[in-house]
Amino acid sequence: MTRKYIDCREIPSDSSCTVAIAADNDEELLEAAVQHAVAVHGHEDTPQFRQQIRQAFRTGSPPS
């Protein structure tokens, strides 16, 4: 399985968040990213939002 990540630096926001989350499993990455987005950025956990997050997944590890 290929490692994947999502990086808040790639998503425009007022907070200039620098968090990047990586995982070996899509579901684990999705859950961590949703929890972060809801708790830190105030997003609502909806099926549409989860699909948007999945579309932001990248293969590999986040750049430093």
pLDDT tens for the chain, 64 residues: list them: 689 999 999 887 778 899 999 999 999 999 999 999 999 999 999 999 999 999 999 999 998 8
Asked whether residue 64 is assigned to any structural domain, the reply reads no
Task: Give the model's pLDDT for residue 11.
Answer: 82
Asked whether residue 20 is assigned to any structural domain, the reply reads yes
Asked whether residue 49 is assigned to any structural domain, the reply reads yes
Task: Give the model's pLDDT for residue 37.
Answer: 95
Task: Give the model's pLDDT for residue 15.
Answer: 82
pTM, rounded to two decimals: 0.89
CB of 45 closer than 8 Å to CB of 51:
no
Task: Give the model's pLDDT for residue 16.
Answer: 84
Number of domains in the chain: 1
C-alpha 52: how far from chain center: 9
Asked whether residue 48 is assigned to any structural domain, the reply reads yes
Expressed in angstroms, the distance from the first to the final Cα of the chain is: 22
Asked whether residue 55 is assigned to any structural domain, the reply reads yes
What is the extent of the structural domain holding 8? 4-59
* Torsion angles phi and psi, residue 50, rounded to 5: -60, -40
Asked whether residue 29 is assigned to any structural domain, the reply reads yes
Asked whether residue 45 is assigned to any structural domain, the reply reads yes
In terms of C-beta distances under 8 Å and separation of at least 24 residues, what long-range contacts does 40-44 make, across chains too? 40/15, 41/13, 41/15, 41/17
